[in-house]
Structure 1
Amino acid sequence: MPKQIDHNQPEIVAALRAAGATVQHLHEVGKGCPDLLVGFRGVNYLLEIKNPNTKGKLTPAEAGWHLMWCGSSMIVNSIDEALAAIGALA
């Protein structure tokens, strides 16, 4: 069963794209994989989107994925956090 997206994901994706980023949805990969692969100014970012109204806790699968991943990944709750994560805020 595909993972459902957090309610704030569409607005975060729209803001990232408006800032000039490319965005690939990964939420259907499942198994704890982050929600988005974002490319911005030649750098790739993995973003896990969390809904701030639900305390944004990671599922056990997500927590396990983040522990085993040897690269960087970030958890964001808002447009500002997502833009800051990719360096798009001045």
Structure 2
Amino acid sequence: MDYNDQIKNRLKRIEGQLRGIIRMMEDNKDCKDVITQLTAARTAIDRTIGVVVSSNIVDCVRKADDSGEKDSEQLLKEAINLLVKSR
């Protein structure tokens, strides 16, 4: 699978969020603020997982169609299982 710049940029933003959270902890910021930022980072990760899985589904279905495979249903099930496991 080709991980495009959009996906990589999402991860770089998340990396920045995590660094900011570490700084907040080092500065002894309020627990509520740290949890808020952790929740935001987790949401960003969850959304990125969704983007990766949906891109994977599209790629798998295209490849199955191009190669004449009839088992695109199995490919979809595998991709959905990946998404479910991520939760």
TM-score, normalising length: structure 1: 0.31
Report which of the two structures shows the higher radius of gyration computed on alpha carbons.
2
Query: When you count strand as a share of all residues, which structure comes out higher?
Result: 1
User: Which structure carries more helix by proportion?
Assistant: 2
